[in-house]
Amino acid sequence: MSTMHRNCSLTLNWYEPLRLLRTKPYDYSLLSKQGLGPLSTVTLACPNFLNELTFRRGAIGMWLQSLNNGCSPDGAPAPDVALEGLSSLAARLEGLFRAIAAAAGASGTDSTVKPAAAAAGCITATAALTMGFMHSEWNSALSRKPQRYLRLDCLPQELAMVYSAYGAALRHSALQHYSQGLLLGAVDTAGGAVSSGGDESGGGDQQSAAAAAGLQAALTRAVAGLRRAAGVYGYLADEVLPALREVMAAAAAAAASRDWPLELLPAAALCMKHLSLAEAQALVAAMAELKGMSPGTQRALHAGCVLLFRDAAVAAQELAAAAPLGLPLSDRLLVRFLPAATALHAARSQLCFAREQQAVMEMGQAEAACEEGLRLLVSAAGCLDKRLDPALWLELIQAEQATCSALHSAVHRDRLAITFQPLPKQPPDALANPAIRVVPDVFQPEVVFPPAPPASAGNKGGCAIM
């Protein structure tokens, strides 16, 4: 636990999906002033509903802008009011586009009884009905050009961007909660050590135990938040974005050099889903160390991290291939962060394997595992750009290198002085039999429908109040 407290980080934390995300103000009441048929039938009947949407969206936009302007990567977690605001905005957008699709007679829109995941036909129908009527603007935080704003064209695209922001906020908040838990634990442990001094009453031990309990609670909360984020991204990747693919392809063919945020591609949501799960798995491995579980158990958990990070890297490669030429994928994600995080947890798996072999006096295997771990850590450090990447990333890798070097020296000395075992020709496979202990928290979207339009316009009197 001392290593965790010293670094105040358990894995490489990448905050850009939320910290760089921005949107310009947009007035949803514009939907009631244009369009014909089902679009006007619904939007004209609910001006207050559209005004409420505009207000909620404006508040979220201002919060995102404040993150970009004045919040450092190690800032405070997303406040609950922001998470609630994003969830509420998404629920009302879900209700609005389902009401529009229902007014048009699209199949799969009877959601008043079962407000579950939207059917692909409903999303596609609403995208076609509202194509060209939406003019909201978002940037792409996953791209190399986050300063560039891109215009959306239909209501489901807007919904997808709101869900993407919601998933990013959940992930960001979870990472920040555990980072603050580590920092508070480090302060409590240091304070306990100072206060106990020469006192044998056990006050310092009690304070350290309380700090460990608080840290475990923070890690548990963070794992739940990351699983929730993975569920939101999974809903995007499985339900929303695939249904938009054909409509977006047709719109792109009609308008030359038309770009949308990378967050609207299914591979982006899939990458963020696997990344959130990998980070949750890393925290589970940290809890295993905190609880004093065996090195074999910790090795299997870190091996599971490697698999999940590799899945995220595969999805990132697909995203890079699908990205338009004018909006390439972020180098920090594809070239530096994912390879470094994968190598870091592969090295931790080797370190746990070395401890496992040291316990049974297999010093040759233990030394080979340490050497492979050190090689992986050098590779992880080589992926980073000292000028552009957070200094904490390199500090974390260097701390792992110091731990691995100390173990390597110990097992090397024992191998030469006690066991006389030869080094194996091949490094050990520390990634065998991985254990993945996290799954997405299945996301069931809430739906808040706008007021129903009047049954018949002919029933109205001439009085405006009536």
pLDDT value of residue 466: 41
Contacts of 56 (CB under 8 A, 6+ apart): 85, 88, 89, 92
pLDDT value of residue 188: 52
Domain count, the chain: 2
Identify the residue whose tokens are 């959601």: 111
Same domain, 48 and 153: yes
Q: Residue 394, exposed/middle/buried by CB under 10 A (0-12, 13-18, 19+)?
A: middle
Residue 465, pLDDT > 80, answer: no
Q: How far apart are CA 143 and CA 308, in angstroms?
A: 22
- For the residues 203-230, what does the mean pLDDT come to? 85
Same domain, 368 and 455: no
Positive or negative torsion for Cα 215, 217, 221, 223: positive
pLDDT value of residue 418: 94
Higher pLDDT, 458 or 271: 271
Report yes or no on 50 lying in a domain.
yes
Residue 452, pLDDT > 90, answer: no
What's the mean pLDDT when you consider all of the chain? Answer: 85
Task: To the nearest 10°, report the CA torsion of 432, 372, 375, 271.
Answer: 10
- For the stretch 385-430, pLDDT in tens is 999 999 999 999 999 999 999 999 999 999 999 999 999 999 999 9
Assign 309 a pLDDT band (cuts: 50, 70, 90).
very high
Report yes or no on 72 lying in a domain.
yes
Residue 175, pLDDT > 60, answer: yes
Same domain, 350 and 425: yes
pLDDT value of residue 287: 94
What domain range is 142 assigned to?
1-292+446-466
155: three-class secondary structure by DSSP: helix
Residue 271 corresponds to which amino acid?
C
Assign 213 a pLDDT band (cuts: 50, 70, 90).
confident
Same domain, 212 and 322: no
Higher pLDDT, 289 or 208: 289
Assign 197 a pLDDT band (cuts: 50, 70, 90).
low
Total residues found in the chain within this entry: 466
Same domain, 288 and 298: no
Report yes or no on 150 lying in a domain.
yes
Report yes or no on 209 lying in a domain.
yes
Report yes or no on 440 lying in a domain.
no
pLDDT value of residue 74: 46
Same domain, 426 and 452: no
Higher pLDDT, 200 or 308: 308
Same domain, 31 and 87: yes
Same domain, 43 and 174: yes
Beta strands in 145-274 (DSSP E): 149-151
Same domain, 168 and 249: yes
Report yes or no on 441 lying in a domain.
no
- For the stretch 245-290, pLDDT in tens is 878 887 777 665 578 999 999 999 999 999 999 999 999 999 999 9
- For the stretch 311-350, pLDDT in tens is 999 999 999 999 999 999 999 999 999 999 999 999 999 9
Q: What is the CATH number of the domain that holds 305?
A: 1.25.40.280
Same domain, 275 and 340: no
Measured between alpha carbons, how far is residue 170 from residues 79, 165, 269 in Å?
Answer: 10, 9, 14
Element (H, E) at 179: helix 155-196
Structure tokens at 95: 């209700």
pLDDT value of residue 115: 37
- For the residues 291-320, what does the mean pLDDT come to? 97
Residue 305, pLDDT > 50, answer: yes
Same domain, 47 and 135: yes
Residue 11, pLDDT > 50, answer: yes
Same domain, 65 and 149: yes
